Amino acid sequence: MGAGISTLFNARNAPSGDTDWDLSFLNPSTSAAPPVARGLIILNQPFSRSLLDGLWKACSWHCCADGGANRLFDLLPDELRRSYIPDLIKGDLDSLRADVRDYYSSKGVSVIQDHDQNSTDLMKCVQAIQEHEKLESREYDIVLLGGLGGRLDQTVHTLSYVHKLRRMRKKVFVVTDDNISWVLGEGQHRILIDHDILGPTCGLLPIGVESTVLTTTGLRWNLTEARSSFDGLISTSNHLVPEEKYVTINTSRPIWWCVELSNRKD
């Protein structure tokens, strides 16, 4: 990638120390306005109506990455489509259908074609939210809808890119109908668990690092200063404990955490 991307990733380091994670924005029964600014980026992968509804309400800024606009358009019946108008469609637009572009353009949506071959549609949309943040002088949590299914090369790109984003952004979540996942930076983390929407299965994946040392609480099979790597131990198919309100994770290196979304329905 070009120098601009390298400079971007090294712009600031993630904060050290304890980090709290609250996933209440996933709960559709939460009626209060979200206290955190969030931006939703819809990728070109299938997703359910129920998942879209919850994430759309939890986010105040909405962007479609190229063919993600086709997914949004096709999922909704005509009478509801006007209630889900994104702020932006951006990408190289090699996947965006003409009828979808015409519809959203007629609703005042900005459609931006970016031919930069050194960045993917996802990267282009993250750049767009960064530009939006400058106008509002505040940072958004980013929620990616899709990105961890379908083509393996695209999945690996999401894993790699979000791993890099940890260096400059506080919170980036990847959500599918099966899981929510994100990168935990080195240090201590405390995750508030809503058992109505999360679990039971979860995992700690040493992706992007040679190895890490893990200590956990709140899991069915906890780890105590356990070394985890692709050549060694990986904690997959672990379980949340119903009576535990929090999961705590201490990791010596950045690691992917994933937890199942329960009771997802179309």
Q: What is d(CA 16, CA 171) in angstroms, rounded to the nearest whole number?
A: 13
pLDDT at site 36 = 87
Residue range 43-47: mean pLDDT, rounded: 96
Contacts of 83 (CB under 8 A, 6+ apart): none
At position 230, the amino acid (one-letter code) is F
Class of domain 33-177: alpha beta
Domain ranges of the chain: 13-32+179-266, 33-177
Q: How far is CA 161 from CA 50, 148, 169, 172, in A?
A: 27, 12, 12, 10
3-state secondary structure string across 12-76: CCCCCCCEEEECHHHCCCCCCCCCCCEEEEECCCCCCHHHHHHHHHHCCEEEEECCHHHHHHHHC
pLDDT at site 264 = 55
Q: How confident is the model at residue 108 (pLDDT cuts 50, 70, 90)?
A: very high
Q: What is d(CA 252, CA 188) in angstroms, rounded to the nearest whole number?
A: 9
- Measured N-to-C along each axis, helices 98-106 and 68-75 cross at an angle, to the nearest 10 degrees, of 80
Q: Which of 1-10, 84-93, 243-252 has the lowest mean pLDDT?
A: 1-10
pLDDT at site 112 = 97
> Which H/E stretch holds residue 224?
none
pLDDT at site 150 = 86
The fourth-level CATH superfamily of domain 13-32+179-266 is Thiamin pyrophosphokinase, thiamin-binding domain (2.60.120.320)
Q: How confident is the model at residue 135 (pLDDT cuts 50, 70, 90)?
A: very high
Backbone region of residue 137 per phi and psi (left: phi > 0; alpha: psi in -120 to 50; beta: other values): left
Burial class of residue 210 (count of CB atoms within 10 Å of its CB; 0-12, 13-18, 19+): exposed
